[in-house]
Structure 1
Amino acid sequence: MSNIKSTKQIGFIISSIDSSYRDSLVDSLCNKFYEKGYQVIMGMTNHDIKRERELFTSFSSLVDCIIVISNAEKYSQIEDVVPKDLPVIFLVNKPEDTPHCAILENDYSAFYQAVVSYSAAHHHKVAFVCSNIKVSSSKEILKAYADSLNSSHIDYDESLIYDVVNNPNFGAGGLVTEMINKGCGAIICTTPSITNRFVDYLLFNTPKLSNHPISIYGYGNQTHNLITQLNINTVVHPSDQIVKLAVEQALYQMNHPNQKEYRDFLVKGKLKMYTYDGLNN
C-alpha cells in the first residue's frame, strides 16, 4: 500500500450470518480491526457467486484489504474481479487454485472420529448434510465421512448425502423423517446453520422420535454457547485463533505489499461429545 493512500477500511465478504458461530466470528473480527484503527465494511452473498463477484468489484476501490468466505468452487469463477493490488484473504473455504492466503478449519479428524465412534456403538446408518458439496470445506468433511464409513465396514450410500445449497430454509422435519425411514440414527451437519436447524427441530420434537432417537454431529463454538448447542456432539473451533490469524495476516500483507508468496493456516477442530436423553442414543 506504499503508493496508495490507506482508506483504513477492511472489506469482509460473507456468505451468510445465520448461525451463532458465524455471528460470533464476524463480531470478533470487526472488534479486532477496530482496535487496530480500521473499520470493517461487510457484504453478504447468500451463497450467490454473482453477488460475490459484485462485492469484490465494489470493495476494490474502497478498502485496504478484502477478507472473504467464498462460495466459489474454483478460483477461475472469481479471478477476473479479485483485485491484484490489494491483499485478499480467504476464510473457511479455499477455491481450487487460489493463489492467496487462506485460513481454514481442518475438521477431517474430528468428523472421522465422530462417525467411527458412532458406528462402533450402533448399527444405524449415518446421513450427511452440507450446503454446497463443491466447496473445499464440504469436500474435506465428505472425505472424512466416506473414509470413516469404509474403515467401519459400512457401505457408502449416495442417497444419504443431502446438499441444501439451493434450499437454505429446508424443512428439518421432513429430512429427519426421510432419514429415519432409510435406517439412519445419526446426522453429520457440515455448517453451523445446518446444525442449529436440526437441533432446534429435534429439541422441540423429541417425544415424536422416542422410538427413533437421532444423534447430531455438527458445529459449535468454544467461546460462544447457545442453549441449542449444549446437548449435541459438536466440532468446536477456537474462533479467537481464527480471528487472530486473519487480522495478523491482513496487517502483515498491507504492510508488505510486494509479498507474493502466501501460506495457508489450518485451525483444527475438536470433537466434543455430549448426551441428552431422547436426542442422542
Structure 2
Amino acid sequence: MPSINHGEHLPQYLKVITFIQNKISNGEWTFGQKLPSQRAIAAAFNVNRTTIIHALEELKAQGILESKPGSGTYVSNQSWSNISKQVINWNAISQYSFHAGNPRTIQKINDYETDSTVIQLGKGELHPSLFPTQAFRTSVENISGSFNLCGYSDGAGEIPLREAISARLQEEGIHYSSSSILIVSGALQALQLISMGLLQQGTYVYLEQPSYIYSLQVFRSLGMHLKGVAYTGGELDVHDLETQIRANKKPSMLYLNPTFQNPTSKTMSWNNKQDVLALAKAY
C-alpha cells in the first residue's frame, strides 16, 4: 500500500475511515473494487485488526462499503454518487477487450501471481533471495560508461547482438546472417509475430494438454482455434494428434514446449520427438 498521511489528532479508526473515503473520492478505489485485506490495512497503519474492523463496520453502516461472505470487503455502489463526484470507473472499463477473456481458471492463476503467500512454481523464476544482486550491480556499473544511445535503436535489435547470435548459429551449422535475425522481448512476442505473419484466422493450433497458459491468449486473440492433445509423462500422444488432424482437415499448427515443459517440467523423449517430426512431414 502507498505511504499514508495519518493525520495528527484523529483517533486511529477515524484515520482509517478518512483514508478509505479519500481513496474512493479521488477515484483510486471505485465501486465494486475489493479492498486490501484487514491485515494489510492494519500493517499500513500500524494498528491491530480490531481498529480496522471498527472502521470498516462504520463505513458499511454508511453504505460506503459492503461485505461479500468468503470473498472480502468491497466499495458499495449504493452511495457511490454521494462520495465520488462522477469519477470514471477506469478499472471496470479496462476489463473490456476486443478479444475474448481468459478462462476463469487462468484468471485465478493470474490472481495468485500477486499473492506473496503462494509459491509460484509455474513461473520458473528465482526467489528474490537467490538473485545475485551484487554481481548484477557490478556488471551494470562496469558497462554504464558505454551507454551512448538516447533515442530508438534498430527495431530488429542491437546489431552486435544479432551478429553474435549469427556467429553462434553458424557454429551449429545454421547459416543465417544478422539481417535475418529479429530480437524479440520474449517468447510471447515471438508467438504473436509468428501467428500474425504465418497463420490465418481460424487456424487450428494443437498443443499439449496442459500447455503454457500465457501462450493460450496470444493464439485466441488472433482468432485461432485451440485443440488440446493428450500429454502424459512428458510424451505427446501422436496417435491422438493424427486423429484430430484428419478429422479437422483445416490449416493447422503444432505448438510444443518439448524441453522442461511448462507447467509439467517434463522433457519429451528422443523417440517421441522423432514421431512428432515424422507426422509433421506427413502432413
TM-score bracket relative to the smaller structure: under 0.3
From the two aligned structures, give the one with the greater helix fraction.
Answer: 2
* TM-score, reference length from structure 1: 0.24
Quick one: higher RCO (CA 8 Å, sep 6+), 1 or 2?
A: 1
Q: Which has the larger radius of gyration?
A: 2
